[in-house]
Structure 1
Amino acid sequence: MPQKGIISYTLSANRQNPLAGTAHAAIFNTWRRFSAQVLYVAPPLIFFYYAMSWATDRNHYLNSKAGRQEFAGE
């Protein structure tokens, strides 16, 4: 026999909002993850960017007329 006095409410799966709160959670979760990892990623990225920039400028100088004249004897 069914029990009396127990009431349960359910919502059908096709009536639920599957994207409820995703925009809010995405913004704060993305910020939390970004702030936790930025100190691991940014310093090497900055260092290697400046190293590559220096190497490119140095290569352009060494292959220019002035650079070839300066290091012609070596």
Structure 2
Amino acid sequence: MGGGGGKVPGVYMGWWGSIGSQPQKGVISYSMSANRQRPLAGTLHAAFFNTFRRVRGQILYVAPPLVAAYYGMSWAIERNHYLNSKPGRAEASDEE
């Protein structure tokens, strides 16, 4: 038995949670048990293959400048060592 809210006192309003009003429409709720959820399922597999795909797509934009910079630095380091060595200093003093 329930009352209030404009209802006639002493009138049966329904079982618990069903208080005699129209059922609500357009509200959908989903739930899943906590032990069935796998938030990181496939993360490592997807990360590996996604990284491979992205690197493969960008390698021709990144590799040539890196190779050119590496060979340019190698040449500059060797040239610097030569110019600071005894024969290199002798060659530089002859030019001046």
TM-score (norm 2): 0.62
Residue aligning to 2:79: 58
Unaligned stretches of 5+ residues in structure 1 = 3-8
Give the structure with the larger helix fraction: 1
- Hey, what's the Cα distance between the residues in 1 that align with 2:44 and 2:92? 59
Task: Give the RMSD, CA atoms, in angstroms.
Answer: 1.9
Moved over 3 A (4+): none
TM-fit CA distance, 1:11: 1.2
Q: Which runs of 5+ in 2 are unaligned?
A: 1-21, 24-29
Q: Distance in 2 between matches of 1:56 and 1:35?
A: 31
- TM-score (structure 1 length as normaliser): 0.79
- 1:21 pairs, out of 42, 55, 79, with 42
Instruction: Output the CA distance in 2 between the equivalents of 1:27 and 1:63.
Output: 47
Seq. identity, %: 64
Give the Cα–Cα distance (whole angstroms) in 2 for the partners of residues 23 and 68 of structure 1. 57
Structure 1 residues 1-74: aligned runs within 5 Å:
10-12=31-33, 14-15=34-35, 16-74=37-95
